[in-house]
Amino acid sequence: MMWGHATRRRIAADPWPRIASWRGSVALAVLLLSGASAFSEEAPPPPAKPELTELSLAELANIRVTSVSKRPEERFQSAAAVYVITSDEIRRSPARTIPELLRSVPGVDVARVDASQWAIGIRGFTSTLSRAMLVLIDGRSVYSPLFAGTYWDVQDVLLEDVERIEIIRGPGGSLWGANAVNGVINIITRSAKDTTGGIVSGGGGNEETGFGSGRYGATLGAGGHYRVWGKYFDRDAEFHATGNAYDAWHMYRGGFRADWDLRSSAALTVQGMLYGGHAGRLTTFAAYDPPYVRTVQGDDDLGGGHVYSKWTRPLGGGSELSVQAYYDRTHRNEPNFREDRDTFDLDAQYQARLPGRQQIVAGLGYRFSDSRTAGPPTVAFEPPKRGDALYSAFVEDSIEVVPDRVRLTLGSKLERNDYSGFEWQPSVRLGWSPRADHFAWGAVSRTVRTPSRLERDLALTAAANASAPIFFRVLGTPAFEAERAVVYEAGYRFRLGGRALLDLAAFHNHYPNLSSIEPGVPFREPGRQVIPFQFANGLDGKVSGAELSAELRASARWRLRAGYAFLDMNLRARPGSGDTTSSSAARGNPRHEVTASSSWTLPRGLLVDAWYRWIGQRPSRSVSAYSEIDARVAWRRGTHLELGAAGLNLLHARHAEFGGAIEIERSIYGEAKWRW
């Protein structure tokens, strides 16, 4: 029965077939001391178009974000825990993937599992499924209705073209809908008008064995611009104690974007992308004939693409109408599972400024997603083919109660899905500016994660051992309800001129009906014994925490950032629940995380950047606390040439981040870029 408990524990933590110090002191000293020379240098004259690192922190705080209210507003006066990764930070970072960029955000937990997989969570619930948080690319949702999560191994863009990444820690369901329970990650790319000219880059190293990219942009008729781009990378497998390094990963993708300024001040955007590649995988699954446990090593065949269009037209008086539509195609052929999915999405949004300092945003949406699955009898979705429809409507009213001082925002989204019917997600947000450099806010929200095919249609069977026909089976059920959460938040921001910015947020979340795995009554099938388990809403969760971020402009050439996140999770079985293992998922999240970064510009085009992180232990994953540093040094020759060298995980040759037999290795690579 010990084996059975272990199996149930793995299923509860990640219920999906393929899921399976002194260094810190030295690291912080390196971050601070290495910038001393930059602090003492005289600042160079600003260029004609300054980079974001050369703006004051007041200007950085006032960067306009759109993820909080679906309309542009100043980051400093947003009544939410919002964090922005700017385009300059992205281009100067050694990170080569979006998950690696997210490591610097307080309250966002990122752990690499192998070469192509990450476990990511916002304010807890870290898993390879990345559930209960919504990921958007240019407003296009990339979550999978199969398991209500994100496949991070196929979410990629040309990082050179990213304008910013907005991270909302906390619920966004009143605007973005179900599954935006713990946060929203919105990746926003640059307009084609801002990417004229060309760029080619390439490089390689010990882990990033080879990569290259290219992009070219130009004008397109009267009032139009376009760009085309492509990229490729090949990543080596991580460290395996058994020596069987199977998880090498390579991908290619290419795309385009075109933007037009039309008559009547309207604007039109059309973009698209195609991708393909392979990711190595070692999969263990059950069979109904001996041997009952089988292991298959092979590649995930990954492919897909999308086309997206958005039309926006100002209507006068501060009002605006926009309509967007996209079609997305995904294909995954894993060693023991296959899915092909087609998704069509249509959204319309209207915003208006009313008399009396009042703003309204409202919208309607429709999505249809068609899924076809296949696999061995022990890994099945019933029915294998299913189409899901989602209808939605939202409205948000922002009222300036006291001019330039107090703003009240009321909003709600109503959705109708095929699993739990109608769901509503209201929120109330209040922002208060007692003085120009101070801002306090509070919010109360109700949000939901709707059921997916995983909870309704899955029939996953695991063998107790290789020699006896005894099986455990996890079954979906129509009785599974949407997971609900009531979230209380408060925050405070303070800025000291253009030199310092402090941002503090605290929260308490109550989840009264989280997913659990409930044991059933054993039964027999021809030739085998089956011990069933079923998805249910048998857990009660209370999650509290706080996040602190600070920015300091030490000089015109030197910028520092630091962050700290505290998390307290308490998951317990509700009365009548027989689940004894799912509550251990709380111990898979670190209670404490510390981040720090330093970015400085030296004379003669030399750029030096470093990122430090300390991650607390994950007891249920048997992962100890660890520190790491990522760094990049680059030299720019004029406006055309840039040569760089970067390293990730520099403090250890290898270390575990999410448990298991795979350890993440130190990565060092070089890169050259040419712009024209």
Q: pLDDT averaged over the chain?
A: 90
Per-position DSSP letters for 427-484, written without gaps between them: EEEEEE-SSTTEEEEEEEEEEEE---HHHHHEEEEEES-SSS-EEEEEE--TTPPPEE
Residue 18 has pLDDT above 90, yes or no: no
Residue range 96-116: mean pLDDT, rounded: 97
Note the pLDDT of residue 6. Answer: 38
The closest of 139, 74, 152 to 110, measured between CA atoms, is 152
pLDDT for residue 375 is more than 50: yes
More confident residue, 445 or 8: 445
- In this model, does residue 39 exceed pLDDT 60? no
pLDDT over 50 at 446, yes or no: yes
Tens digits of residue pLDDT in 186-220? 999 999 999 999 999 999 999 999 999 999 999 99
For residue 388, pLDDT beyond 50: yes
Q: What is the pLDDT of residue 120?
A: 97
Please state the separation of Cα 348 from the chain's center in Å: 24
Please state the rounded mean pLDDT for residues 658-664: 93
CATH of range 2-675; options 3.30.413.10, 2.40.50.140, 1.10.1200.10, 2.40.170.20: 2.40.170.20
Answer whether residue 30 shows pLDDT above 50: no
pLDDT at 50: 45
Residue 222 DSSP symbol: T
Assess whether pLDDT exceeds 80 at residue 318: yes
Share of residues in the chain with pLDDT > 90 (%) = 82
How is the chain split into domains, by residue range? 2-675
Mapping DSSP to helix (H, G, I), strand (E, B) and coil, where does residue 378 land? coil
pTM higher than the cut 0.75? yes
- Judged on CB neighbours under 10 Å (0-12, 13-18, 19+), 41 is middle
17 has a pLDDT exceeding 80: no
- The per-residue pLDDT for 55 is 56
Query: Does residue 35 register a pLDDT over 70?
Result: no
pLDDT for the residue 306: 97
> How far is the C-alpha of 65 from the C-alpha of 76, rounded, in Å?
10
- Which segments within 220-318 are labelled E, that is strand? 224-235, 239-240, 249-261, 267-286, 293-316
- Statement: residue 26 has pLDDT above 50: no
Whether omega before 291 lies within 30 degrees of 0, making that bond cis, reads yes
What would the pLDDT profile of 135-183 be if each residue is shown by its tens digit?
Answer: 999 989 998 999 989 999 999 999 999 999 999 999 999 999 988 999 9
- Vertex 144 angle, CA 170 and 107, to 5°: 25
Per-residue pLDDT reduced to its tens digit, 246-297: 999 999 999 999 999 998 789 999 999 999 999 999 999 999 999 999 999 9
Q: What is the pLDDT of residue 57?
A: 63
Q: How far is Cα 454 from Cα 460, in angstroms, rounded to an integer?
A: 10
pLDDT exceeds cutoff 60 at 42: no
